[in-house]
Chain A
Amino acid sequence: MIHRSLNALPWAGAAPGEPADLPETYGVDVLMLAPVDPARLFATFQIAWSTRNRLVEELGDDKLSQCRMILRLHADDQSGACQEVDVSGPSRSWYVDLETTSRSLWGEIGCLDPEGTFYAVARSSRVDLPWERPCPRFDPEWVPVEEAYERIARSVGMHPETLYCARGCVALAEGRDQRLGRKSLPGAAR
């Protein structure tokens, strides 16, 4: 499942809240990936006008209009898994629910023609995702004191193996936000 950012925007133009006098593009093709959490990735891209013009020249207007803009997310491991996301349309910022369990990914964006040929435009750097759960692997010289894990889990009201998305973390954040949300200092606590 993919979610278009609320900042859906045409390729030319500013997102809601985005100052209109910042550059629309920076003259280069860029794909940036960033983890939102262990299961969701943010992708934002920009494609230079020169690249768009080149694609028009190479493919022609008709063919280009039949192409779909595709984001490919490759697992950076032995699995070779690839998740393909159709990002055609006006938005250049997307939130992607990940299908892979790989914790290291890289992406590329490009045009996919109806025959299945992919014309890559930009490639991201590698992005590391957080793990969702405590690690099952341990060092035999450092055997985990499981009760300590259980205590943390109990204190925040979650099962140890789901500690990662602990309600406690949310409660802490809510507590802070409730106080800080109306305060006059911006503060650092979140």
Chain B
Amino acid sequence: MTPASGYLCLVLHAHLPYVRHPEFGESYEERWLYEAILESYLPLLDTFERLAEEGVRFRVALSFSATLLEMLKDELHRQRFLRYVDSRISLAEQELQRTSHQNQELQPSVQMYHERFQRFRRLYLDRHQGDLASAFGRLADQGYLELLTTAATHGYLPLLEPNEQMVRGQVQVGLEAFQRLTGRSARGFWLPECGYRRGMDAILTEAGLDYCILDTPSLVGARPRPRFAGFAPIRTEQGLTCFGRDLEGGLEVWSSLGGYPADPEYRDFYRDIGWDLPLDYVGSYVHESGKRLNTGLKYYRITGPTDHKEAYRPAEAAHVAERHALAFLSARQRQVEWLRERMGQPPVVVAAFDAELFGHWWLEGPLWLEHLLRKLDSEGQGLQSITPASYLQEAPLPQVSEPNPGSWGDGGFNARWLNPSNDWVYRHLSAAGQRMVEMARRGDEEDSDRERLLNQAARELLLSQSSDWAYLMSTGQFAEYARKRTRDHLVAFNLLYHEFQEGKVDPEVLRNLEERNPLFRNLDYRAWR
């Protein structure tokens, strides 16, 4: 094998907030999960399995949040997901009929969806019996994937107070759930939103973690100034290795203007038949309330910046995905060659993305990834795929430096999660955090009911801390739901706190709360001491 001139470290982060509403026949927000399974997680699994079966040598790091893993294992969600897929298949069949008589230029797209839905249903149910965590775990066992995890409910750690105990709770519960749900220990940690605050490294290393992923500015602004900017990890004095996400490659994919997913040939995300076709036709496939929603069937390509859209051409889009994969590979090869000459050692370029970008928004994303990994194996010319843990085994000991606090949000700091749309939450989260520490320290280990109460209080606190709620309030999308979820968990937490203070436990209230959010079954409130 050619000696490595540099490394490409692909990191995909899969996360969704915990959503579970058995009280409703259908919930808008549960669709986040079903869309992500059908459009992202299954296509990615399909891609990785195909590459592995064909003997392509690749390595990808894949982060799973504990909330997502809990939902993937949940029988209610499995049943509802199957119902969702079956309904997509039924809609696609209906569409095959309709477009055979009219809009025949849309037939290739309809056929593509029909085939995809059926194939991914088989992959989900027949091949993996609905157990996606184990499916990805097998790829990890074979050395293709490196699985890592994140904070239990994806809390935005820099803003949680009191910080040490809140971070410890998020980390310990996240790691325990990951271990329980995947059967393996995580060495790496995806910091939610790449959010870092001084002192967090001690908590992560105390939990047995080796590395985390930060945004490049956290490395570029580290102290002392790192020798290799963001192209080699640094190590904190506490022993946590920090990799920096590459901005250059990131822009090629993420830029709203020139990013690959904006190519005119790619499938347009926004034109969905849930909005385009008469409600009496698509009504049963949107929502039981009759409100319009995306169905997942989208027949147009991006075409251009106007509302004029032309029919999607799957074969042409596939060619573009291949071309973009080659362009990305070529750009990274040039990048690492240039860097290696100056660095005197192989650089590591970390390409980190949300897993849900691939397939859900960018339909051709998994195909792009497949081409990239194939070409990297066959035509890498010294550029090798690597995972963070493998890199740590092969590379020299990183330079010791203290990362700068930051995040991957706009501006690079905390503004996305702390602004006038959402700042009210921190007063309450901070108070709840103080109360949780107080309760944990006073907790009576002899009394099982009080122990359950304390564990449920910690569960409610964790759920209220999810970074998604502050984010959604900030964007205005699903803001009301985000406010409600924050409020509901804080109200439940405060109720339990008052019961604890009064020395009583209402069994019915406690059971109700436990049943409403049945996750983190091994949670131990002592983590908050």
Contact = CB atoms under 8 A, between A and B. Distances in A.
Contacts of B360: 183, 185
Interface string B254-295: 111101010000000110000000000000000000000110
Interface residues of A, number: 76
Given A144-B229, A189-B356, 16 more contacts: A21-B487, A22-B487, A23-B428, A34-B418, A44-B427, A125-B161, A128-B199, A131-B221, A134-B220, A135-B224, A139-B227, A149-B229, A163-B221, A172-B254, A180-B475, A184-B294
B36 A185 contact: yes
Contacts of A181: 475, 477
A162 B256 CA distance: 22
Interface string A88-120: 000011000000000000000000000000000
B423 A42 contact: yes
Interface residues of B, number: 105
A136 interface: yes
Given A37-B415, A143-B227, A155 B420 contact: no
A116 to B, nearest CB: 30
A175 B228 CA distance: 27
Interface in A54-101: 92-93
B404 A131 contact: yes
B269 A142 contact: no
Contact of A44 (B217, B257, B423): B423
A17 B229 contact: no
A188 B193 contact: yes
Given A138-B225, A166-B247, A148 B339 contact: yes
B73 to A, nearest CB: 19
A149 B15 CA distance: 31
Interface string B162-178: 10000000000000000
A108 B405 CA distance: 23
A36 interface: yes
A130 to B, nearest CB: 4
Interface in A28-46: 28, 30, 32, 34-38, 42, 44, 46
Contacts, number: 262
A165 B354 contact: no
A36 B415 contact: yes
A178 B424 CA distance: 25
18 contacts: A23-B431, A26-B434, A30-B434, A131-B404, A135-B221, A135-B224, A135-B225, A137-B224, A138-B225, A139-B224, A151-B248, A164-B412, A166-B412, A173-B408, A181-B477, A182-B270, A183-B360, A189-B254
Nearest to A19: B487
Interface of A: 5-7, 14-15, 17-19, 21-23, 26, 28, 30, 32, 34-38, 42, 44, 46, 92-93, 125, 128-139, 142-145, 147-149, 151-152, 155-156, 163-166, 168-190
Interface stretch (B52-60, B130-138, B440-448, B465-473): B465-473
Nearest 6 interchain pairs by C-beta? A173-B410, A6-B420, A175-B256, A155-B248, A142-B227, A19-B487
A148 B228 contact: yes
Interface string B212-234: 00011100111111111111000
A20 B424 CA distance: 11
Given A137-B224, A166-B217, A166-B247, A152 B229 contact: yes
B141 to A, nearest CB: 26
Given A138-B224, A188-B15, A169 B215 contact: yes
A181 B473 CA distance: 11
B420 A136 contact: no
B17 interface: yes
B349 to A, nearest CB: 11
Contacts of A125: 161-162
B63 to A, nearest CB: 9
Contacts of B477: 181-182, 186
Given A181-B477, A184-B293, A170 B411 contact: yes
A33 to B, nearest CB: 10
Contacts of B257: 175
A32 to B, nearest CB: 5
B192 A5 contact: no
B439 to A, nearest CB: 14
A170 B16 CA distance: 23
Contacts of A187: 354, 356-357
A186 B15 CA distance: 9
A39 to B, nearest CB: 10
B412 A177 contact: no
A174 B409 CA distance: 9
Contact of B221 (A30, A130, A177): A130
Residue among B13, B220, B231 facing the most chain A CB atoms (10 A cut-off) = B220
A128 B15 CA distance: 28
